[in-house]
Amino acid sequence: MKPIKGFPSTSQDDYQLNIMNIARHGVRNFSRQEIACQCPQGMFRYTYLDAFRRMNQFAGALKALGVSIGDRIGVLDWNSHRNYEMYFAIPGSGAVMLLLNLRLSPPDLSYVIHHAEASWMVVDETLLPIAEMLWQSCKNIRGFIILTDKNLSDIQTTLSPVFSYEVLIQAQSPEFEWPNLDETSAAGACYTTGTTGQPKGVYYSHRDTYLHAMTICSGGEMSYRDAFLQLVPMFHAMGWGGVYSATMAGSKIVLPGMYRLDRLGELAELLVKEKVTVCNGAPAILMPMLEYIRNLENKPDLRGARFLCGATEPPVAMMKGYKELTGAEIIHAYGATETSPLVSINRLKPWLENQLSDDEKWDLRRKQGYVVSGLDVKLLGPDNTEVPHDGKTPGEICVRGPWITGCYHRTPMSDQQFTADGFWRSGDVATMDAEGYLKITDRVKDVIKSGGEWISSVDMENELMSYPPVLEAAVVGISHPKWEERPLALVILREEHRGKIGKDALLSHLAHKFAKWQLPDEILFVEEIPKTSVGKFNKKVIREVHQNRYMVGAG
């Protein structure tokens, strides 16, 4: 689908969107705006202007070290002020900032560094043990830049050669001539960490990152009056675009530095002391923070604050808890590493305000929201045609647009994740209602493909578990010679019901909600269901164990 050339414009269409323009804009208008970072010694504070000067110095240092346009530089750091500087200085200098997820296993991290062919690494001193574990397998690395306030001579490490970030930048001028980069050049890279296969590289262009930041600014309604807390780790999908959009908006920026779930008090205090009005985060961190707040004698007043919440669906209890205890609004947003990540955001439209009951509104807020401006989206059903936007018919979310990945970096056989017309297949199954709100119901790999239709395993599990005698239930699709797949249910009954409840009772319970053709062919009463390390049903194992159950001659 090659674009059609219309009449020539007179616009400066060759002007390149560039991440450094965001920093330049920030410092031009908001030079006095504050950046505050939590450090072991206390709060470190400086201004946009201070940070900008250091970006210039670091770009100069990279050049002096021999880093060239297009080189990949691995970064292993917390949400620190130095990371903030590198977020601009590395891409701005023409190199690619390879964000290393410090939660990955060493073999996965080694794979990523190898695959990206990183030539330099920047490491926070607290993360040196991770880098040291990787080093033996990363012989392409030409040197390590250590993020520390200490003298390099006081740092013990087996890495070599090592440089101090602070010493490097002190040797440089606070002015740097930033290159005019083609906007399609890669700025940063993150690797997806699916449960199967090797990590896959998403290399975000300057254009991608810039347009995404503009969209976060609008969608999150961020302004120079806001104080933005970057709670999402900056190694996850470019920190969800937080620091770029906050800088574009001229917001105060608050960085939590190194933070841990066992030191939530500090985070909650940060929210209050720094008067945070916007933050981003996953329920995994927002939930325990709420519990911490619940136990405080004086609840923080966070009225007017908007917390962009992603990764998984926020529980209603959590959203209500924040509202009631602090006044903060939780705004659910949806995306993935492959989508920079913002795809959809949940805002309540004015006409729904009066139309819906309070309960309906809370229910709506759990949805993944409507697709932001700038992206094309379609929901593809089992036969690969678009499903109606009726809030009922499920389809796989497929997305196309300037901040969506069009491929994976040097990954053969990844075509199947894209449609012929260039949409990225999310693997998420959702419905869309007439108002455009997405509601994820399943993962594609968890729906049962039967006779050209889909059966939701999640819905069926929930329905089974709503039957009081059932303790746990898992439903998977098993290969079938005629129907492609057919459902199989594994059920653990509560002890007092064992031996008393049979398949027929469960089937007639399911029949209230499911059509006859959707009902499972088999229901197995078991004492245990295989689970993953994080406690989810391990459907891969279930499917393997029962793979031949519906084949001719079997079961």
Q: What is the smallest separation between the CB atom of 118 and a second copy, expressed in angstroms?
A: 11
Cα(25)–Cα(431) distance, rounded to whole angstroms?
Answer: 40
User: Which helix H or strand E contains 203, and what residues bound it?
Assistant: strand 200-205
Residues between 191 and 210 with contacts to a second copy, criterion CB under 8 A: 201-205, 207-208
Give the shortest CB-113-to-a second copy separation in angstroms: 15
Which stretch, 247-255, 265-273, 314-322, 492-500, contacts a second copy (CB under 8 A)? Answer: 247-255
- The amino acid at 46: Y
Interface with a second copy in residues 311-350 (CB under 8 A): 347, 349-350
CA separation, residue 260 to residues 78, 79, 167, 264, 272 (Å)? 11, 12, 29, 7, 18
Catalytic choice (63, 320, 449, 503):
449
Q: Does 63 bind a second copy (CB under 8 A)?
A: no
Contacts of 228 (CB under 8 A, 6+ apart): 222, 242, 246, 249, 251, 252, 253, 254, 276, 277, 278, 279
Q: Report the residue number, 140 or 158, with the smaller CB distance to a second copy.
A: 140
CB neighbour class for 171 (10 Å; exposed up to 12, middle 13-18, buried from 19) = exposed
Using omega within 30 degrees of 0 as the cis cutoff, is the peptide bond preceding 388 cis? no
Work out which of 80, 148, 164, 185 binds a second copy, going by CB under 8 A: 185
With contacts defined by CB under 8 A, name the span among 25-33, 58-66, 311-319, 506-514 that binds a second copy.
Answer: 25-33
Q: Which of 140, 151, 170, 184 binds a second copy (CB under 8 A)?
A: 184
Check residue 182 for interaction with a second copy (CB under 8 A).
Answer: yes
* Interface with a second copy, residue 275, by CB under 8 A: no
The verdict on 17 binding a second copy (CB under 8 A) reads yes
5: contact with a second copy by CB under 8 A: yes
9 interacts with a second copy by CB under 8 A: yes
In the region spanning residues 394 to 423, those forming contacts with a second copy, defined by CB under 8 A, are 400-409, 422
Token look-up 């008090």 returns 265
Binding flag, residue 268, a second copy (CB under 8 A): no
Catalytic one among 120, 135, 424, 454? 454
Q: Of the candidates 217, 385, 399, 220, which has an alpha carbon nearest to the alpha carbon of residue 307?
A: 220
For position 221 contacting a second copy by CB under 8 A, the verdict is yes
Candidates 388, 552, 424; CA nearest to 483 is 552
Is 454 one of the catalytic residues? yes
Annotated active-site residue 192? The verdict is yes
Residue 72 and residue 188: Cα distance in Å, rounded? Answer: 9
Question: Would you say 206 and 332 are in contact if contact means Cβ atoms under 8 Å apart?
Answer: no
Report the site for a second copy in 420-459 (rule: CB under 8 A): 422, 434-436
Scanning 149-157, 173-181, 327-335, 358-366 for contacts with a second copy by CB under 8 A, the matching segment is 173-181
Smaller CB separation from a second copy, 36 or 162: 36
Site for a second copy (CB under 8 A): which residue of 87, 334, 370, 550?
Answer: 370
CB 232 within 8 A of CB 277: no
Handedness of CA 395, 401, 403, 408 (dihedral sign): positive
Provide the annotated active-site residues.
192, 338, 449, 454
